[in-house]
Amino acid sequence: MTAIREMKPEDLAWVTELERLCFSDPWSETLLAEALAQPLDRLWVAEEEGRPAGYFDLRIVAGEGELMRIAVAPGFRGRGLGRKLMEKLAETARENGAQEITLEVRASNAPAIALYKSMGFQTEAVRKGYYASPAEDALIMWRRRG
């Protein structure tokens, strides 16, 4: 049974650990706490059978959504949680008046790119050498419909 709910300060420790497991440039607990306190950012977590399993951070500025982060813990991947988080993200954007959503993704991140395309995102630009450690291009994707 999956539950998707708004992130709370009590979730900071495990989301910080999730960041370390999922990214080569993980967000620190301080940065996550700042995002949580930031009214422009909407952070939601997914729990599977009561266990923490994933999260996203959507920032909404001037009627546009930006996906800042999404991650599912390695042991919970491939069973639809990422898609459920993306559906909640799209709903959250809509509810906050953001018809369009953008994101940046590493060009080699095939699972994430496949998920985004299946959710209606299209690549509109490539930023050469945008990422460090390891150096890589970024795809800039947009979902133009609400």
The HSE-up count of residue 71 (CA atoms within 13 Å, CB side) is: 20
Interface pick for ligand COA out of 40, 114, 125, 126 (rule CB under 6 A): 114
Q: Give catalytic status of residue 116 as yes or no.
A: yes
Residue pair 82/115 in contact by the 8 Å Cβ criterion: yes
What span, in angstroms and rounded, lies between the C-alpha atoms of 5 and 132? 32
C-alpha dist (Å) from residue 140 to 54, 107, 121: 23, 9, 10
Tell me whether residue 35 or residue 71 sits nearer to ligand COA (CB atom): 71
Q: Give catalytic status of residue 55 as yes or no.
A: no
Interface pick for ligand COA out of 80, 87, 94, 144 (rule CB under 6 A): 80
Catalytic residue among 47, 100, 104, 136: 104
Residue nearest to ligand COA (CB): 82
| Chain residues that interact with ligand COA, rule: CB under 6 A | 22, 70-72, 77-83, 105, 109-112, 114-115, 118
